[in-house]
Structure 1
Amino acid sequence: MKLEGRIAIITGGGSGIGHEACKLFAGEGATVIVADRDLEAAQRVAAEIAGQGGKAVAHRVDVSKEAEIEAMIVRTVADHGRLDILVNNAGYGIAGTVVETSEADWNALMSVNVNGVFLGCKHAIPVMEKQGGGAIVNTASAVANVGIHGRAAYVASKGAVAALTRAMATDHVEANIRINAVAPGTIESPYFTKILSGPDGAELRRGLEERQAMDRLGRPVEIAQAMLWLASDDASFCTGSVMVVDGGWTARGDRKPKQKA
């Protein structure tokens, strides 16, 4: 039980990577606050965890709204006495170059992907400082390290998350708060499931798989396992790190489909 007795908030916990993280954390003994903008999804995950003998509470939150984040953290401390772990996982992507992206779409994406991380940490860190420490895990992306075509706003947002993670880790290391990020590659999440459900889905999938060094997409649980490690005492000497979990995609350099013999 790596997280026995700890209290963890996981945003975006209603689906995909967040869903798997909630299950893993609860399985390791944490009481998990399944936080999501979709309350019904959060409730389904909390019920699933309870059915497996774990402890979980569903909480509706829009991470782009400071008042809602603050209220969630205040309620967590009131109900459970502390906050040991925060996983800032909520986020989404949009397509387009900067020319094609409207200011409204840019601002909306940044308010979730970047402001959500900023606000979560802003209100969690004082709680953790007061209790003597804690762990924060942010969700960046492998694209924080490289440029990809037609995803300007998303790439910028995840680059900001990676940089903010390093800055906060430096600022709060003396308070015994470890702050790290995981940088997933292309994961078979609900976002990609929706994209691949169209008439050209099979062809799109082949293209995505062929550009991966491992010839497949990642699974949400594989990212959740990295989150678990970063949140646990196993990573006690790790702060300010951005852990890339992308099946070797960025290591290959060219990111083009491999030539078949």
Structure 2
Amino acid sequence: MSLFRLDNKVAVVTGAGSGIGQAIAKCFAEQGAFVHIIELNEDGGKGTVADIIAAGGKAKAHGCNVAQQADVIKTIDNIQADAGRIDILVNCAGIAHIGKLETTAEADFDRVFSVNVKGTYNCMYAAIKHMKQQGGGVILNIASIASTVGIPDRFAYSMSKGAVLTMTLSVAKDYIHDNIRCNCVSPARVHTPFVDGFLQKNYPDNVQEMFEKLSKTQPIGRMAKPEEVGWLALYLCSEQAGFITGCDYPIDGGFIKLNN
């Protein structure tokens, strides 16, 4: 058996138009999976698909807003009907918000909740019936170190990722006898296009200085590469991780344990 291969597996990855989701989708495709990308930004999803196909992989993009349950159910049902099964679901679609309690407006709170929490719920809700019917599957949710430690000015975001963590534990417990594993990954800062855009928008005069400052909040001295999260996701969704369920895996450059 080749380690971490996903040959003949059907994987669904949300938010794979860029960043972590894109890295996971490409990694899975490289290891033999047929990857179905669910992405609000349909052009971004198609771009990832084009990259995968150009590299010899198999993928298809589906435009869908994960916050809308009816659309999610229709999309995932269509994927299952087309592919015959859904072996892996990775919930990576998410948005951020900067602000503490008193600077988080109700509209901002609802927006973060609808994508990060309800979106994850919607995708699991739509996929779980298919996984039960086929005799098993794997769900991986992308949480954050904000699930378990305090991050300044991230009230709504931390709330949402805390919910992702506890939903993961609940699903792992409820479906363990259906041969469905459910885990989550909690990254610290990852160098994605979102980070570059955030710095350019908020610190246009000292982008490099702020990049270095944010990088050094991880004791290892840098941000993670999206591919590093992808490799961890690959292991957790592979058959070699068959004994792992109900776990949260920080990938944080020492942030949680070494920031003393």
- Asked if Structure 1 and Structure 2 have the same fold, meaning a TM-score greater than 0.5 normalized by the shorter chain, the answer is yes
Matches within 5 A, 1:1-261: 2-197=5-200, 198-254=204-260
- What is the deviation of 1:253? 3.5
- % identical aligned pairs: 38
Answer whether contact 2:188 2:218 (CA < 8 A) is retained.
no
Aligned partner of residue 210 in structure 2, secondary structure: helix
Deviations 1:27-78 (A, max 9, x none): 1111001111011111111011111111000111111000111011111011
Answer whether contact 2:66 2:115 (CA < 8 A) is retained.
yes
Q: TM-score with structure 1 length normalisation?
A: 0.95
Instruction: Show structure 2 runs of 5+ residues with no match.
Output: none
Worse-matched range after superposition: 201-210 or 133-142: 201-210
- What is the deviation of 1:251? 1.1
The separation in 1 between residues aligned to 2:106 and 2:94, in whole angstroms, is 18
Deviating above 3 A after TM superposition, structure 1's stretches of 4 or more consecutive aligned residues are none
Deviations 1:82-133 (A, max 9, x none): 1110000000111001110110110010010011111111111110000000
Match of 1:259 in 2: none
The separation in 2 between residues aligned to 1:171 and 1:23, in whole angstroms, is 30
Answer whether contact 2:45 2:62 (CA < 8 A) is retained.
yes
**CA RMSD across the alignment:** 0.9
Aligned partner of residue 57 in structure 1, secondary structure: strand
Answer whether contact 1:195 1:201 (CA < 8 A) is retained.
no
Answer whether contact 1:64 1:111 (CA < 8 A) is retained.
yes
Q: TM-score with structure 2 length normalisation?
A: 0.96
Aligned partner of residue 12 in structure 2, secondary structure: strand
Instruction: Show structure 1 runs of 5+ residues with no match.
Output: 255-261
Answer whether contact 2:190 2:226 (CA < 8 A) is retained.
yes
Aligned partner of residue 137 in structure 1, secondary structure: strand
Worse-matched range after superposition: 122-131 or 191-200: 191-200
Answer whether contact 2:145 2:252 (CA < 8 A) is retained.
yes
The separation in 1 between residues aligned to 2:101 and 2:245, in whole angstroms, is 32
**In the comparison of the two structures, how many residue pairs are matched?**
254
The separation in 2 between residues aligned to 1:234 and 1:170, in whole angstroms, is 20
- What is the deviation of 1:200? 2.5
Deviations 1:172-221 (A, max 9, x none): 00000000001001000121111222222122112112221111111101
Match of 1:257 in 2: none
